[in-house]
A = this chain, B = another copy of it.
Amino acid sequence: MHRYRARVTTADLDAAGIVWYGNFLRFVEAAEDDLLRAGGVARHRIREEHNLVLTRCRFSCTFRSPARPDDELDIALMVTESTDTHVDCDFDIRHVPSERLIAHGSFRSVCLDPSSSSPKQLPPSVRAAYAAASVPESRSR
């Protein structure tokens, strides 16, 4: 499991004064960036170093309760499956400090050849970074 903290900003809000649901993808993306960085991988260098792109091929999310201005969010990523060419990840987003569940879902990241768009092997460094987030962890700190 990999944990990441984010703060809701004014620019994230919709007309109801809560986080626009599409912006939860930004938080999850930032959490995945952070997971990779924690494993020593800079996502933006994967292409130049390996001639590969790491991309999202599916994403699903259920929205359970609103995130409000100034809320601090705890995004937890849990890698559930990892193969040569893709990684599946569950996530949940909770309010800090109440642990109220705001949203949860899953996504799949795949490694592609940038010219042919065919699946390619994940570089070992990337696999290792995700593997570190496949160990469950008690949420309480």
Q: Is the CB–CB distance between A29 and B43 below 8 Å?
A: no
CB nearest to A7 among chain B residues = B30
CB distance from A62 to the nearest CB of B (A): 4
Count this chain's copies in the assembly. Answer: 4
Of the residues B22, B33, B44, B61, contact of A17 by C-beta under 8 Å? B44
Of the residues B21, B33, B56, B114, contact of A25 by C-beta under 8 Å? B21
Among A96-117, those with CB < 8 Å from B are 105, 114, 117
Among A48-93, those with CB < 8 Å from B are 53, 55-63, 65-66, 68-70
Among A22-38, those with CB < 8 Å from B are 22-23, 25-26, 29-30, 32-33, 37
Q: Which residues of B contact A9 (CB under 8 A)?
A: 26, 29-30, 33
